[in-house]
Amino acid sequence: MNDIRTVAVIGTGVIGAGWAARCLAYGLDVVAWDPGDGWQQRLRTAVENAWPALVRLGLYKGASIDRLRFAESVEEACSDADFVQEAAPERIELKTALHAQMDTATRPHVPIASSTSGLLPSEFQADCSNPQRILVGHPFNPVYLLPLVEVLGGEKTGAQALDEAVAFYESIGMYPLRVRSEIPGFLSDRLQEALWREVLHLVNDGVATTEELDAAIAYGPGLRWSIWGTCLIFHLAGGEGGMRHMLDHFDPTQFPWTKLDPPPITEALVERMAKGCEAQTGGRSIKELERLRDDCLIAVMQALRAYRVGAGEVLQKNAERRTLQREYQRWTANIEVPTPLALYDCHVRPEWIDYNGHMTESEYLAAFGGATDALFRYIGIDEDYRAAGQSFYTVESHLNFLREARAGDALRFTTQVLAVDDKRLHFFHQVLRGEELLATTEQMLLHVDAGTARACTMQPHIRQALDAIAAAHGTMPTPPQVGHQMSLVS
């Protein structure tokens, strides 16, 4: 919908503010209205609070909070709008009256979408003169981040309005899900409500606490649901037999665990479920889907790890335990220094891969960081040394990429110390797959007092270790990449 430039947002609570932020981030003008007192400042504050997240996702050309305007009435907000998104409270009498008002104020061809969570469009379009453009566009909070929007029409909604709404939602980065039937609660809320009802039963019966029930989702099925939802995940649970095997062995009528009554598992239902899941696979085998599922789960958990939330916190704790358990080599004065050092190895993780199927530049540097950490531990710089307030800081890096690395590749790293003085360390890493050289990095590090943020002389035992390594590595040839300058002239 390239002709949509201005969106009217009617109702500016949590959902309406989310719509405003999303539309502004996609370079649109937003005209908002709300009947409450002080709504203008609350809306601006909500949009400003959402904006850093939208910046991280990436803004479209022309995106600006300054394109948000406040209207004095519904009529003013809707008069020049190319699309209207209503987000008023869930009361049918209010929705009906408000849609009649918006319908009168808006040009006849402009779609009017309601953010209702479950009210039916046939009801609130009843008093409209142009009911063919009245529809539901039900989002999920936070609207400015979550892409799902359920789209459905009422008895009088025209196909053109639905198509235009779908195209518009796609243009602002959403996943419009067409709901086939005008059913109360639509699709997603009905699924959420079923789970919510069971939660209330379990708490009411004293079976579990709210924290335990949240953990039961966050650390298990919730992670899987973020990839495919329920049906295809259970299709995989059936193994090579897929959904047919799943329903044959886990007929919910045989496991009356919940307060919800399941439908009879008839041959017709089994066939409908199985065919639906088989179509979803896109011709991929169960094993292919299992590998894809595993890669996606790792990516989700790795993303959560940075924030130490849910399964991400478990992953971080495991990583910390592995670090403590890893047997790092240590330099001592009575051992011969290897030339070069071989202190670190790892495998390429799925989340390190870019859209070309190769390991990204940033992840090469992160992996080289693992080799640097191993060098630090080899010479005696560990948690205790850093806790005392001193460490090395990288001040310059030169990377060279020679071959591509792919997910699962086993990488090994070698290190050559080129030079050292009281405050500086100059070294060279290589990363290899077998005997094949993939990439190199030349780095200069500065020894720093963290308290003053200034360079300082390293501790004697660190200097002693580095001097011994530099002396041993002085017999090695200087790698051709060292000191290399970038130029188009050979």
The fold of 6-178 is: Rossmann fold (3.40.50)
What pLDDT score was predicted for residue 490? 61
Tens digit of pLDDT for each residue in 219-233?
Answer: 899 888 888 888 888
User: What are 109's two structure tokens?
Assistant: 């061809």
Burial, 212: exposed, middle or buried (Cβ in 10 Å; 0-12, 13-18, 19+)? exposed
Mean pLDDT of the 362-388 span: 92
Burial 90-116 (b: 16+ CB within 10 A, else e): eeeeebbebbbbbbebbeeebbbbbbb
Tens digit of pLDDT for each residue in 391-416?
Answer: 999 999 999 999 999 888 889 999 99
Instruction: For the beta carbon of residue 443, count every other beta carbon within 10 angstroms.
Output: 21
Mean pLDDT of the 286-300 span: 80
What pLDDT score was predicted for residue 477? 96
Tens digit of pLDDT for each residue in 122-149?
Answer: 999 999 999 999 999 999 988 998 899 9
CA atoms in the 13 A half-sphere facing the CB of 159 = 0
Terminal-to-terminal C-alpha distance of the chain: 51
User: What are 5's two structure tokens?
Assistant: 């430039």
Q: Which of 244-248, 300-304, 390-394 has the highest mean pLDDT?
A: 390-394
- Strand spans (E) along 34-174: 68-70, 83-86, 112-114, 134-139, 148-153
Which residues have CB under 8 Å from 93's CB, separation 6+?
A: none
Tens digit of pLDDT for each residue in 446-479?
Answer: 999 999 999 999 999 999 999 999 999 999 999 9
What pLDDT score was predicted for residue 373? 93
Question: Cβ distance 279 to 391 under 8 Å?
Answer: no
Rounded Cα–Cα distance for residues 184 and 136 (Å)? 12
Question: Cβ distance 343 to 328 under 8 Å?
Answer: yes
For the chain, helix, strand, coil in percent to 5 are 45, 20, 35
- All structural domains of the chain with their residue ranges: 6-178, 219-299, 327-473
What pLDDT score was predicted for residue 1? 47
- pTM assigned to the model: 0.69
Mean pLDDT of the 37-47 span: 95
Instruction: For the chain, state the CA radius of gyration.
Output: 30
What pLDDT score was predicted for residue 325? 56
Rounded Cα–Cα distance for residues 182 and 163 (Å)? 16
Which residues have CB under 8 Å from 375's CB, separation 6+?
A: 341, 343, 415, 427
Which long-range contacts link 38-41 to residues 24+ away (Cβ below 8 Å)? 39/12, 40/70
Which residues have CB under 8 Å from 204's CB, separation 6+?
A: none
Return the CATH superfamily for domain 327-473. Answer: Hotdog Thioesterase (3.10.129.10)
Percent residues over pLDDT 70 in the chain: 98
Instruction: For the beta carbon of residue 42, count every other beta carbon within 10 angstroms.
Output: 15
Mean pLDDT of the 33-40 span: 96
Rounded Cα–Cα distance for residues 227 and 244 (Å)? 21
Rounded Cα–Cα distance for residues 271 and 385 (Å)? 64
Question: Cβ distance 194 to 260 under 8 Å?
Answer: yes
Rounded Cα–Cα distance for residues 459 and 441 (Å)? 26
Range of lowest pLDDT (117-126, 305-314, 440-449, 458-467): 305-314
Rounded Cα–Cα distance for residues 14 and 46 (Å)? 8
Instruction: Judge whether 6-178 and 327-473 match in fold.
Output: no
What pLDDT score was predicted for residue 326? 60
Answer whether residue 321 shows pLDDT above 80.
no
Q: How confident is the model at residue 175 (pLDDT cuts 50, 70, 90)?
A: very high
Rounded Cα–Cα distance for residues 243 and 232 (Å)? 8
Rounded Cα–Cα distance for residues 65 and 51 (Å)? 8
Rounded Cα–Cα distance for residues 332 and 30 (Å)? 67
